[in-house]
Each structure stands twice: as structure tokens, then as C-alpha cells.
């Protein structure tokens, strides 16, 4: 049975890709077949093969199955700005129904775990009346939340969890990520972790310390996938 999760964050630049790739690698070390989708990505670079996004390429490296780039990252936008603005400037239309179809195509492959990584935080606009959060709603996906451990993290995490719940989706788990500075540099880091663990309505899958190398394999060793793998999705 394929288990699929939508990965979101408390904000942009909180380590969603590092965490997603670490989850994929951890699953692969357990002999599981994995795939991933980065439906919308801004901040892409021009290459001989077209626009390419570093986050999408990282996911492709971490997952076990081979998929064409266009299936992993169907919407690639060059400016590193909000996706709906980048799309408007490029004359493109972002449509949730198209993304739903692409994600379902990946979800139908013979894999054990599929991760669909969002962009920015939970409520990222795609069009005047569409948000990226509409994608997991349409697909009825459980959500994995990446919480950046820094000042304000408790408020950001709770507000995001509340929004996920209001949208009718299950928070399947969360990952604490010291994305901007080492754990040792955050005042009362352990107390913040304990508070989040007590009030977030989902199990903590692990705490990832700041990794200057950016090597997701380092993070994989600190993750517990059992709550996700035991989920009926």
C-alpha cells in the first residue's frame, strides 16, 4: 500500500526539502520504494534542459524511483518570489486541478511512500481563489509539518496546525528542524521542544540539528518513520 503525505512548513526556508529528503532516505534504508513531487517551485535556474529547481533535484536524488523531472516539478518558475507573482509575470496559470492529476499519477506508481512537498508555508496563494493548501485537501492527504526551531516557533506551529485541522486534514507528524542555527545557540531549545511535543496533536518524528553541509543523509538517522508507516493514510 502506498502511503502519501503532504509536507508543509511553518514558513519558507525552514528546511522542508532537507526534511523531506531525509524522510525519503530513511525509508530507503528500510528497503522501501519512494517517490516525491514538488508541484510548484520558484527560484529555478536556466539549464540546457530547461528550468530546474535545486529542491526538486534534491528530492529526485533522495527517492528510489526514477521519474522525469517534469513529473516531479511540473510548475517551475525562475524568480525566487511568491509563486503566484512569479507565474503571473511569466504568463502562466497555476491550477490546482492540474496539480492534483499529476500527483495522483505519482501516487499510483508501485511505491511504498510518496511525499508531496509544498512551497513556503501552508496558505500559499496560487491564484485569486486558489491556494496550495487546496492540493492536499483535494487529495485528502495527511500532513507532515516541519517546524523551524527559533523564536516564535510555538505560535507559528500552533497556527499552522490549527489551519490544517480547519481544512479537514490530519496532522500525521511533525519534525523539529534547527534550520537557521545550531540547537546550542537557541535559548531554552529543549523547553521549546517539550512544549511543542505537549501541545501539537501529532507525534514528533525527530529533531534535526543545524547541518551546514546540507546533507540530508545526516538528518535521516535522527528520524522515526514508524508513525507514518503505521498510518492507514
Q: What is d(CA 20, CA 126) in angstroms, rounded to the nearest whole number?
A: 22
Q: Is 38 a catalytic residue?
A: yes
The DSSP secondary structure of 23-62, one letter per residue, reads HHHHHHHTT--EEEE--EE-S-EEETTEEE-HHHHHHHHH
Are 154 and 191 contacting, i.e. CB atoms less than 8 angstroms apart?
no
Q: Provide the β-strand partners of residue 131.
A: 125
Nearest-angstrom CA–CA distance, 213 and 43: 21
What distance in Å separates the CA atoms of residue 43 and residue 53, rounded to the nearest whole number?
A: 7
Indicate the burial class of 26 (C-beta count within 10 angstroms; 0-12, 13-18, 19 or more). buried
Out of 38, 92, 170, 183, the active site residue is 38
Q: Which residues are catalytic?
A: 38
Amino acid at each position: 500500500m502506498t502511503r502519501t503525505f503532504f509536507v508543509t512548513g511553518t514558513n519558507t526556508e525552514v528546511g522542508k526539502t532537507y526534511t523531506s529528503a531525509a524522510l525519503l532516505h530513511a525509508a530507503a534504508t528500510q528497503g522501501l520504494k519512494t517517490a516525491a513531487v514538488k508541484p510548484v517551485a520558484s527560484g529555478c535556474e536556466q539549464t540546457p534542459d530547461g528550468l530546474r529547481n535545486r529542491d526538486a533535484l534534491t528530492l529526485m536524488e533522495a527517492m528510489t524511483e526514477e521519474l522525469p523531472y517534469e513529473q516531479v516539478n511540473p510548475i517551475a518558475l525562475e524568480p525566487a518570489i511568491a509563486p503566484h507573482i512569479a507565474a503571473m509575470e511569466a504568463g502562466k496559470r497555476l491550477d490546482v486541478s492540474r496539480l492534483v492529476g499529476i500527483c495522483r499519477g505519482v501516487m499510483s506508481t508501485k511505491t511504498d511512500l510518496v511525499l508531496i512537498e509544498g512551497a513556503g508555508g501552508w496558505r500559499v496563494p496560487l491564484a485569486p481563489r486558489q491556494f496550495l493548501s487546496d492540493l492536499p485537501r483535494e487529495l485528502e492527504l495527511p500532513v507532515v509539518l516541519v517546524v523551524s526551531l527559533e523564536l516564535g516557533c510555538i505560535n507559528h506551529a500552533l497556527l499552522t496546525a490549527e489551519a490544517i485541522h480547519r481544512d479537514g486534514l490530519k496532522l500525521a507528524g511533525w519534525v523539529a528542524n534547527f534550520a537557521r542555527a545550531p540547537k546550542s545557540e537557541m535559548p531554552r531549545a529543549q523547553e521549546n521542544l517539550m512544549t511543542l511535543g505537549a501541545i501539537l496533536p501529532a507525534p514528533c518524528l525527530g529533531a534535526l540539528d543545524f547541518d551546514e553541509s546540507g546533507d540530508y543523509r545526516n538528518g535521516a538517522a535522527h528520524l522515526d518513520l514508524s508513525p507514518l508507516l503505521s498510518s492507514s493514510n
